[in-house]
């Protein structure tokens, strides 16, 4: 048996999994490395954070995807860098993993733009743990208000969402619905009218890449759901219980949710490769790295042209990552078969954002623009389609139907982390060291 080339994929997000899936039958051995044992369907994290879905509904165990494929190995490992001399991936607690080809699909991280206090106090929404943590926090604030009503006058139920992009719009809308429709009933002993959801955006409009019509629709719908939309408003400082705006206004709040910016994940700066906007790794037209023809960088961590000219870059969304991962896999197979490489062409399938019950916006490159129930149904259908695993699809569908029909939300549990952590067994967590 001759040794097959070994392809190491860093990250089991949309990009990494698309690459691995595309190489399942190729003459290579694939190793997928991820710090979690599951793939996270990030577009629905905000629904976990607002108690609409179970954590397990938006996560799929990576090993479960490759059970029938002996050539794909999956490892839960924290990648901390690459040794270019020995051509191996460095992990926090394991031996280096040598590669012949490397696909870096390590994703993005929150960009706090150096705003004082933001990184320490704001709640991001990038991982499943982020979502559970935010859900715990929101529900705990309501419990705190119920236990100590004086906190109500001190903004304990004021929720500030920073960033008017899809993430910010979706989380603000879902939070407004959760409070108005569910927590109002749960906490019938509380003056829920004191609860506020604010969406602050530095630009003069929401959903910048969308058309003005969709932008106005989103603002109107959010306001109809009770969300205060503050445009032309930047956050300048964050503390434990205050958010300061550029106007000088100070908002008392214990919950600032951060949807204001994205940059490359922490691994980007540890690779020693040239980077562009947002710290993203600069790639060639075939998504490989200059001087490293066997190394591909795809998805949120890659700084790639969008192919429309004008110097615009690919957006940090699922579609470019999926298409990029697949393209990288194809280039590796082509290289092995000594076929010439091809340039990456991004096929824009459109963008969507949901605002709440029966309210969403969707825009397609054909020029079609949808708002309202039709866009919302399209959003639901597409997200079910792209969600991995039949069980997850069924569970999400059941939960959505339930929430829609009953105005209820199921999993509004406060899971106490200190109780989870209560273990004397070091093997319970292989990842106590995080990369800086």
- Locate all alpha helices (DSSP H) within 114-165, ordered by sequence: 118-121, 128-147
Site for its own copies contains 224 (CB under 8 A): no
Task: Using CB under 8 A, pick the residue from 116, 315, 350, 410 that binds its own copies.
Answer: 410
* Neighbouring C-beta atoms of residue 101, cutoff 10 Å: 26
Q: Which stretch binds its own copies (CB under 8 A): 143-151, 290-298, 305-313, 376-384?
A: 143-151
Site for its own copies contains 189 (CB under 8 A): yes
Tell me how far, at minimum, the Cβ of 60 lies from its own copies, in Å.
Answer: 9
Number of residues in the chain: 436
> Which one from 94, 170, 185, 284 is the annotated catalytic residue?
170
Task: Using CB under 8 A, pick the residue from 340, 347, 425, 436 that binds its own copies.
Answer: 425
Tell me how far, at minimum, the Cβ of 141 lies from its own copies, in Å.
Answer: 6
Q: Which stretch binds its own copies (CB under 8 A): 136-144, 215-223, 242-250, 275-283?
A: 136-144
Q: How far from each other are the two terminal CA atoms of the chain, in whole angstroms?
A: 42
151/203 with CB nearer its own copies: 151
The answer to whether 43 and 33 have CB atoms below 8 angstroms apart is: no
Site for its own copies contains 146 (CB under 8 A): yes
Backbone φ and ψ for 293, nearest 5 degrees, come out as -60, -20
Site for its own copies contains 236 (CB under 8 A): no
What are the strands of the beta sheet with 235-238, ordered from one edge?
Answer: 235-238, 242-245, 250-252
Q: How far is CA 179 from CA 190, 207, 323, 381, in A?
A: 12, 23, 38, 25
12/297 with CB nearer its own copies: 12
Residue 235's SS3 state is strand
Pairing of strands 292-297, 101-104: parallel
Site for its own copies contains 413 (CB under 8 A): yes
Is 201 a known active-site residue?
no
Site for its own copies contains 191 (CB under 8 A): no
53/287 with CB nearer its own copies: 53
Q: How far is CA 21 from CA 97, 108, 299, 300, 415, in A?
A: 20, 21, 15, 19, 34
Considering only residues 147 to 176 of the shown chain, the ones binding its own copies according to CB under 8 A are 147-148, 151, 156
User: Which helix (H) or strand (E) covers residue 370, if one does?
Assistant: strand 369-371
259/320 with CB nearer its own copies: 259
Task: For residue 406, count CB atoms less than 10 angstroms from its CB and return exposed for 0-12, middle for 13-18, buried for 19 or more.
Answer: exposed
Backbone φ and ψ for 33, nearest 5 degrees, come out as -110, 135
232/428 with CB nearer its own copies: 428
Q: Which stretch binds its own copies (CB under 8 A): 168-176, 223-231, 305-313, 416-424?
A: 416-424
Tokens of 61: 């165990």
- Running DSSP on this structure, what letter comes out for residue 428? G
Cα-Cα-Cα-Cα dihedral sign, residues 316, 317, 320, 322: positive
* Structural Rg of the chain based on CA atoms: 22
Site for its own copies contains 98 (CB under 8 A): no
Tell me how far, at minimum, the Cβ of 255 lies from its own copies, in Å.
Answer: 8
Tokens of 323: 């298409």
Site for its own copies contains 237 (CB under 8 A): no
Q: Which stretch binds its own copies (CB under 8 A): 7-15, 300-308, 363-371, 393-401?
A: 393-401
Task: Using CB under 8 A, pick the residue from 150, 310, 385, 421 that binds its own copies.
Answer: 421
Site for its own copies contains 242 (CB under 8 A): no
Task: Using CB under 8 A, pick the residue from 81, 84, 136, 284 that binds its own copies.
Answer: 136
Residues with a catalytic annotation lie at 170
């Amino acid at each position: 048996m001759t040794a097959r080339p070994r392809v190491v994929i860093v990250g089991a997000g949309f990009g990494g999994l698309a690459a691995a899936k595309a190489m399942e039958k190729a003459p290579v051995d694939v190793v997928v490395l991820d710090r979690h044992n599951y793939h996270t369907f990030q577009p629905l994290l905000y629904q976990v954070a607002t108690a609409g879905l179970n954590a397990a509904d938006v996560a799929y165990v990576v090993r479960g995807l490759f059970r029938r494929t002996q050539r794909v190995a999956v490892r839960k490992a924290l990648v901390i860098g690459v040794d270019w001399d020995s051509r191996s991936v460095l992990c926090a607690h394991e031996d280096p993993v040598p590669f012949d080809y490397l696909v870096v699909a390590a994703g993005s991280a929150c960009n706090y733009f150096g705003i004082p206090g933001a990184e320490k106090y704001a709640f991001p929404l990038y991982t499943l743990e982020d979502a559970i943590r935010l859900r715990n926090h929101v529900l705990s604030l309501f419990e705190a208000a119920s236990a100590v009503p004086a906190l109500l006058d001190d903004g304990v139920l004021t929720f500030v969402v920073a960033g008017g992009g899809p993430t910010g719009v979706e989380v603000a809308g879902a939070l407004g619905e959760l409070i108005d429709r569910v927590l109002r009933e749960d906490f019938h002993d509380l003056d829920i009218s004191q609860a506020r959801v604010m969406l602050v955006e530095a630009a003069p409009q929401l959903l910048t890449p969308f058309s003005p019509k969709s932008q106005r629709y989103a603002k109107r719908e959010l306001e109809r759901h009770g969300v205060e939309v503050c445009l032309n408003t930047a956050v300048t400082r964050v503390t434990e219980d205050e958010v300061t705006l550029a106007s000088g206004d100070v908002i008392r709040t214990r919950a600032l949710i951060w949807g204001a910016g994205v940059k490359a994940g922490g691994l980007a700066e540890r690779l020693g490769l040239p980077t562009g906007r947002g710290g993203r790794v600069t790639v060639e037209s075939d998504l490989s790295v200059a001087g490293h023809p066997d190394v591909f960088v795809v998805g949120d961590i890659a700084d790639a042209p969008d192919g429309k000219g004008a110097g615009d870059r690919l957006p940090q969304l699922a579609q470019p990552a999926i298409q990029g991962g697949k393209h990288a896999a194809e280039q590796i197979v082509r290289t092995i078969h000594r076929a010439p490489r091809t340039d990456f062409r991004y096929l824009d399938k459109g963008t969507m954002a949901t605002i709440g019950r029966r309210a969403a916006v969707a825009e397609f490159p054909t020029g079609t623009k949808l708002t309202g129930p039709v866009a919302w149904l399209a959003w639901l259908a597409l997200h079910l389609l792209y969600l991995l695993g039949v069980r997850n699809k069924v569970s999400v569908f059941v939960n959505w139907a339930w929430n829609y029909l009953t105005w209820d939300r199921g999993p509004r549990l406060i899971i106490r982390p200190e109780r989870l952590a209560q273990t004397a067994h070091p093997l319970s967590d292989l990842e106590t060291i995080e990369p800086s």
